[in-house]
Every structure is written in C-alpha cells, then in structure tokens.
Amino acid sequence: MSFSGKVAIVTGASSGIGKCVAELYAKEGAAVILSDINEASGEKTAEQIRLAGGKACFIPADLSESSACRRMVEAALEKFGRLDYACNNAGIGGENNPTADYSLEGWQQIIAINLSGVFYCMKYEIPAMLQTGGGAIVNMASVLGQVGIAGAPGYVAAKHGVVGLTKNAAIEYAAHNIRINAVAPAFISSTRMTDKLEGNPKVQNFLSSLHPMKRLGKPEEVAGLVIWLSSEKASFVTGACLPVDGGYLAR
C-alpha cells in the first residue's frame, strides 16, 4: 500500500488513534500534515515521524472554527502541493449527563467539534482533492454513531451525524473519484477519552465486558483500517461505516 508521492491530513494527530494514523501514512510513504489543539504533542509527533525518515508538518488548529480548517488545507497545498487523503479524527467525549440535564454549552461544544468540524474539514478537503483527480477521506465515527448509550446525548448525536454526513458526501463525489468512508471504533485504549477511565480497575473491567472479545481495542487496530480504506485495496468501498469494535455492535 505504498503512498509514495501522496499527501495526507490527519486531525487530532497528537496522540491516540490520530497519532497512529499519521505514523502509518508516513510509514507507507505519504507526506503528512498533522493537526491538533495540543501544539507540544503535535510538534513532537511530527518530529518523531521526520526522525524516522518520513515527511511531516504540524499545523495547530481548532476545528470548531471553519477558518482553521481552511488554513489547514491551504497549508497542505502550500507545503506539499496536493492533497490525496484525509482522516478527520479530532473529537472530544463531552460531558456525561442525561438529555434533560445536558448543558447548552456542552451541547454546542461537542456538536461544533465532533460534527461541524468534520463538515468544515470536508468542505475544504474535497475541492483540494478534486484539483488532483480524486482522493480518499476517512471520518472517525464511533459505535455510538449507530447505537445509543445513557449519559452521552451530545456525543451520540454528533457521531450519528458524522455517519450520515459521510454517506451523503460519498454519494455526491463517487463519480469524481473521491471515496468517503467512516470508521466506527468501540472503546479504544490509550486515548484521551479512555485514559482516565482505564486508571480504575473496576471501570476497566466494565468497559472490557462490553465487548464480546473482552478487551478494549488498540489505536493501531483502528489506524490499520483507516490506511486500508485510503488505499487502492479499498477502491470499490465508499459510503460505508466500518466498525472496529471487538463485536460490540453484534450483541
């Protein structure tokens, strides 16, 4: 799956799944634009990729702002001259409250980042890909983009929205050689969303029990699917939402 000569954008790339995706794109030969609000970790990841022989550049961006998404894509074109792949991974877990108790501020924040941020990214990524004849976009959804869970109405609504947005854009650009898919992880270890939860053995055991495989997923297991969906091996796959969930949705 050589991506030599290609250029990829990865958002939320300073840690967890996004970091693994960026590293795998670079390992396959792509030049990578990494984006995150955590500048120190993002710069460190980009430097690690360069030290390993890859091409990488970090661009700080708050993807709840459309102008930041536009600047990120412009930076890819200015730095590397094209855009072929994008993994729109950045997101937050949001607050834990039932619907009637969910704060208005919390709702607006999670929709702005987890849903509007994906829309803003695609709004600018797609025209850039059209300039060079096509590409592939992978949006980070969740198993909670297909089912609900008590206490997370904002997250669930946003991820359902990402799945719908992915399908709609895939239909619109299928004839223009741009494939657009989503990946739906279950609970994944070593991410900002699970790090605090994993410190409690009881919570760790509970989270593991939600998956028929009786464990949490690993960031590299999600990243591997992102890379496959970006490659020509997935040339007839578009508009799909593929789970990486240890059987979570099969229950």
Domain presence at residue 12: yes
Give mean pLDDT, residues 5-27: 97
Write out the residue range of the structural domain in which residue 230 sits: 7-188+218-250
Asked whether residue 168 is assigned to any structural domain, the reply reads yes
Mean of pLDDT values over 145-174: 98
Asked if residue 165 is part of any domain, the answer here is yes
CA-CA distances (angstroms) from residue 79 to 31, 76, 150, 178, 243?
Answer: 10, 5, 44, 22, 33
- Identify the pLDDT of residue 205: 87
| Tens digits of residue pLDDT in 96-114 | 999 999 999 999 999 999 9
- Does the annotation mark 25 as catalytic? no
What are the counts of helices (DSSP H) followed by strands (DSSP E) for the chain?
A: 9, 7
The model's confidence at residue 193, banded by pLDDT at 50, 70 and 90, is low
Which pLDDT does position 198 carry in this prediction? 59
Residue 199 belongs to a domain:
no
Task: Note the pLDDT of residue 101.
Answer: 98
pLDDT the model gives residue 199: 66
Number of domains in the chain: 1
Q: Please check the confidence at residue 217 and state whether its pLDDT lies above 70.
A: yes
- Helix residue ranges, H only, 83-234: 104-111, 117-131, 153-173, 195-198, 201-209, 219-230
The whole-number pLDDT of residue 195 equals 61
| Model confidence pTM above 0.85 | yes
Mean pLDDT in residue range 78-105? 97
What CATH number does residue 152 fall under?
Answer: 3.40.50.720
Q: What average pLDDT does the chain have?
A: 95
The answer as to whether 206 is a domain residue is no
Spatial neighbors of 96 by CB under 8 A, at least 6 apart, are 151, 152
- The whole-angstrom separation of Cα 69 and Cα 50 is 23
**Nearest to 234, CA basis, from 163, 169, 143, 137:** 137
In tens, the pLDDT along 55-76 reads 999 999 999 999 999 999 999 9
Kindly tell me if the per-residue pLDDT of 194 is higher than 70. no
**Active-site pick, 85, 155, 173, 248:** 155
> Is residue 200 over pLDDT 80?
no
Asked whether residue 24 carries a pLDDT value surpassing 80, the answer given is yes
Q: Is residue 202 part of a domain?
A: no
Predicted confidence band of residue 197 (pLDDT cuts 50, 70, 90) = low
Residue 160 domain-assigned (yes or no): yes
Question: Is there a domain that residue 194 lies in?
Answer: no
